[in-house]
Structure 1
Amino acid sequence: MSYVENCTFCNPLKDHNQNIVFENETCYFLQHNLEQDVLEGSGVIVPKKHRENTFDLTKQEWNDTYELLHAAKNYLNEKFSPDGYTLGWNVGEVSNQTILHSHFHVIPRYNDEAFAGKGIRYWIKQSENKRVK
């Protein structure tokens, strides 16, 4: 399946708060206005074709994601001057993938934010997260 009519990432222009910052042949770098209050500068790289998760990406989509990641980094460095980045994909509902269209999070991080120094692994390596067998 390469297109889903009610998918927000298949139809980025249908959401007036969604901004296409960059695009190439197969992918977009998007920023959503409603995410900017807490996650200043954050965005996602998504394939234009509907791919449910990262493992479904084509080699061209991987290459185009790489290209947009570097374009986004240059843009974000110039516009926001972040101190670092958190980057990542969630795959499947258990990992908190709430939109079932592959999307690569590009999140600028700042030394003055409340959770500075807390990355992806911080949340999942807490003792409360240990599996019960």
Structure 2
Amino acid sequence: MEKAACVFCQRKNIKIVLENELAVAFWDSHPVNKGHLLIIPKAHKVTYFDLSDAELLAINALSRQGKALIDQTFSPAGYNVGFNVGHYGGQTVMHCHCHLIPRYIDDDPHPAGGIRKLLPNGGEI
């Protein structure tokens, strides 16, 4: 995908809530839970593995700032943090993005296993 066609590069209808030199954070338009934050590099990079060390540090810094903001605003009980990479990894927007997803008591009656629960047999081989 070209940068010009990338919805995250265009940043239309995206209200940036946190920013540093190399990354921005904004609320997910299709949140898993209230307070679901996306953190992206400013430069068009397709996956986590395309990021420079500096971009990784910038995203990490915003994830920590985002956690503080979410804690203050929504008081979650836990978090899921992660990157989807490639079609089979669940990536739907081909611009690298980190999901910072707050979790709340009883949003899942059986939270053990986290992301593994999405896989057949709980991810067991």
TM-score normalised over the length of structure 1: 0.83
Identify which of structures 1 and 2 has the higher relative contact order when contacts are C-alpha pairs closer than 8 Å and 6+ apart.
2
SS at match of 1:66: helix
The answer on whether the counterparts of 1:109 and 1:116 sit within 8 Å (CA) in structure 2 is no
Q: Structure 2: which 5+ residue stretches go unaligned?
A: none
* C-alpha RMSD of matched pairs (Å): 2.2
How much does 1:74 deviate? 0.4
Farther-moved stretch of structure 1 (97-106 vs 108-117): 108-117
Counterpart CA distance in 2 for 1:41 and 1:8 is 21
Cα deviations across residues 89-126 of structure 1 (Å, max 9, x unaligned)? Answer: 110100110111100000000012145515111112x3
- Give the aligned partner of residue 11 of structure 1: 10
Q: Which portions of structure 1, spanning 4 or more consecutive aligned residues, are displaced by more than 3 angstroms? A: 128-131
- Would the alpha carbon gap of residues 57 and 73 (structure 1) be closer, same or farther in structure 2, given more than 3 Å must change? same
Q: Which TM-score applies when normalising by structure 2? A: 0.88
> Which amino acid in the other structure matches residue 45 of structure 1?
I
Unmatched 5+ stretches in structure 1: none
- Count of residues in correspondence between the two structures: 124
Q: Which of 88, 93, 107 is residue 99 of structure 1 equivalent to?
A: 93
